[in-house]
Amino acid sequence: MIANRGSFGAFPEHTLGSYSSAYNENVDFIGIELQLTQDGHLVTSHDACLKNSTNIEDHSQKFEERRKSLNLGISNESCSNDFLIHDFKLEDL
């Protein structure tokens, strides 16, 4: 059994709780998706964009120059008027 992004429904995806819960459920594999930050750190996130999984809009005035719309070429994923993880340093995230 594969727990994609951790334990489904028990915890927010890609969190320590989600991974621990999946491990405790004796899954065979845990699917972890990684994104690279601007300063070279790996973070776990399914999306390369930030609007759907963070509160970036609450801080958008600080980062407005980083807002983009583009097709990422990854499984037809696109970001419309959004912010990309790779445009931020780990400290900013």
pLDDT by residue (tens digit) across 70-85?
776 665 567 788 999 9
pLDDT by residue (tens digit) across 16-58?
888 899 899 999 998 888 999 999 999 988 888 898 888 989 9
Residue 61 lies in a domain: yes
Split into its structural domains, the chain has a count of 1
Residue 46 φ/ψ, nearest 5 degrees: -70, -40
Residue 52 lies in a domain: yes
Element spanning 30, H or E: strand 29-31
- pTM of the complete model: 0.72
Residue 38 lies in a domain: no
Instruction: Round to whole Å and give the CA distance between 51 and 58.
Output: 10
Domain assignment of residue 77, given as a range: 48-93
Q: Is the dihedral of CA 18, 20, 26, 28 positive or negative?
A: positive
Residue 14 lies in a domain: no
pLDDT by residue (tens digit) across 1-16?
888 878 877 788 878 8
Assess contact for 20 and 47: CB atoms under 8 A.
Answer: no
Residue 32 lies in a domain: no
Assess contact for 38 and 89: CB atoms under 8 A.
Answer: yes
